[in-house]
């Protein structure tokens, strides 16, 4: 297997009252998850995410890795169904996993949300993952510059998170492991405070991964610490590189899920040490399902009920709006309704006609057995009177 050395650090920061970031170091699985949602939901969501990812030890492909993330997502969704106070909780997730793909050692990377994975080289800090945020979308569309995105007031609106839908869109990468490579998994509290050159400088200066992680987090907290800060530095210390040519960017393959929906997240309040509403600070980023899902469903159900109601009353009206002359046992009677009934509305006897079947004119008999229909009761009465006229009763 690939061998790793790693170091971690996390801090609640200077403003928030609890730390909703979680990390996992269960080699070959490394994860950072940044929870969101009030009432401790964020902590619960990120804790479930790392617990579930700890089980992803035997990952043998990026598809396995995606499955592991889907399992974690499902666990969070299920939990928030059971505990209503946790409803709306979610978490980001960035994972780095050593895996054997066939007989090749690989590093799998998975990302959902706006935590990041960087690779530090001698020259630069390369952001491998792509943020699933509103501002990132705007940057990609050319509506915002990368520089503007750094300070955009809505930069914390994420477009993907675990715990929201039954399925989550996961981006993955397959990398060739190279001894000496250094990766950083981190929550947004790090790169919101430290610019990339500062992050790179610390990673190059601090050889020990634990020292590097501590320095990164310390730097971000000192720079403002407006959010929880988490850094997990992972070094590749040994790997069998069987590839003849290792790509400069280490990337063997990329799998990017195509987004089909955008989740609207409330931006965090403008926070500072003197924020007058400290309670609001607990709400890191509240995920809300678009409300139209709820009212659209309600509207649909109401429309269906309305249509059913209208249909039912039409059926009743149709079933009950006619009369016919027919037979009831031996008697000729006037029924209200339709001869064969309509659905479960059977005709009912409206009036007796003083006439028996045996007294009917034989020529009238087939019609009466079948039932002779009229729209109005009076017409049915007239017909019954005519039957009586023609009947054998009047025969001398």
Write out the residues near Mg ion by the rule CB under 5 A: 34, 187-189, 227
Give the shortest CB-311-to-Mg ion separation in angstroms. Answer: 53
- Alpha helical stretches, state H, 28-145: 41-53, 62-82, 134-140
**For residues 188 and 235, which CB has a smaller minimum distance to Mg ion in the complex?**
188
Distance CA 3, CA 369 (A): 93
Peptide bond into 28 cis (omega under 30): yes
In terms of Cβ atoms closer than 10 Å to its own Cβ (0-12, 13-18, 19+), residue 258 is exposed
**For residues 13 and 326, which CB has a smaller minimum distance to Mg ion in the complex?**
13
Give the shortest CB-190-to-Mg ion separation in angstroms. Answer: 9
**For residues 8 and 391, which CB has a smaller minimum distance to Mg ion in the complex?**
8
**For residues 159 and 391, which CB has a smaller minimum distance to Mg ion in the complex?**
159
Give the shortest CB-189-to-Mg ion separation in angstroms. Answer: 5
Give the shortest CB-92-to-Mg ion separation in angstroms. Answer: 8
Q: How far is CA 324 from CA 319, 331, 352, 382, in A?
A: 12, 14, 12, 11
Q: How far is CA 335 from CA 329, 348, 377, in A?
A: 13, 5, 9
Give the shortest CB-253-to-Mg ion separation in angstroms. Answer: 29
DSSP string covering 48-62, please? HHHHHHTT-TT--SH
Identify the sign of the CA torsion 143, 145, 146, 151.
negative
Distance CA 382, CA 341 (A): 23
- Alpha helical stretches, state H, 110-193: 134-140, 146-151, 188-191
**For residues 108 and 189, which CB has a smaller minimum distance to Mg ion in the complex?**
189
Give the shortest CB-187-to-Mg ion separation in angstroms. Answer: 5
**For residues 80 and 115, which CB has a smaller minimum distance to Mg ion in the complex?**
115
């Amino acid at each position: 297997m690939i061998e790793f050395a790693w170091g971690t650090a996390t801090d609640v920061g200077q403003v928030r009252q609890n730390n909703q970031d979680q990390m996992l170091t269960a080699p070959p699985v490394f994860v950072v998850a940044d929870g969101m949602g009030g009432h401790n939901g964020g902590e619960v969501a990120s804790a479930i995410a790392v617990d579930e990812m700890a089980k992803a030890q035997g990952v043998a492909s990026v598809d396995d890795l995606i499955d592991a993330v889907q399992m974690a997502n499902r666990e969070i969704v299920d939990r928030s169904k059971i505990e209503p106070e946790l409803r709306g909780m979610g978490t980001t997730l960035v994972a780095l996993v050593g895996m054997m793909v066939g007989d090749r050692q690989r590093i799998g990377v998975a990302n959902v949300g706006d935590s990041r994975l960087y690779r530090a080289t001698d020259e630069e800090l390369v952001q491998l993952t792509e943020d699933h945020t509103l501002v990132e979308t705007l940057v990609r569309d050319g509506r915002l510059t990368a520089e503007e995105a750094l300070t955009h007031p809505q930069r914390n609106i994420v477009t993907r998170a675990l715990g929201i839908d039954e399925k989550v869109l996961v981006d993955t990468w397959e990398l060739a492991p190279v001894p000496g490579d250094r990766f950083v998994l981190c929550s947004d509290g790090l790169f919101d405070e430290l610019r990339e050159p500062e992050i790179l400088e610390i990673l190059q200066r601090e050889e020990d991964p634990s020292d590097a992680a501590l320095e990164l987090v310390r730097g971000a907290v000192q720079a403002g610490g407006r959010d929880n800060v988490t850094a997990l530095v992972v070094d590749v210390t040994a790997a069998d590189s069987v590839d003849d040519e290792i790509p400069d960017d280490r990337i063997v393959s990329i799998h990017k899920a195509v987004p089909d929906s955008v989740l609207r997240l409330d931006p965090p309040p403008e926070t500072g040490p003197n924020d007058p509403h400290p309670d609001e600070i607990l709400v890191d980023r509240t995920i809300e399902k678009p409300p139209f899902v709820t009212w659209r469903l309600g509207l649909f159900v109401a429309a269906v009920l309305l249509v059913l109601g209208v249909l039912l009353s039409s059926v009743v009206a149709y079933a009950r709006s006619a009369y016919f002359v027919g037979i009831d046992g031996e008697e000729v009677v006037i029924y209200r309704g339709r001869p064969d009934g309509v659905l479960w509305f059977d005709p009912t006897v409206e009036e007796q006609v003083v006439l028996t079947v045996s007294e009917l004119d034989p020529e009238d008999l087939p019609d009466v057995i079948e039932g002779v229909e009229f729209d109005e009761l009076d017409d049915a009465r007239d017909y019954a009177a005519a039957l009586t006229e023609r009947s054998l009763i009047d025969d001398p």
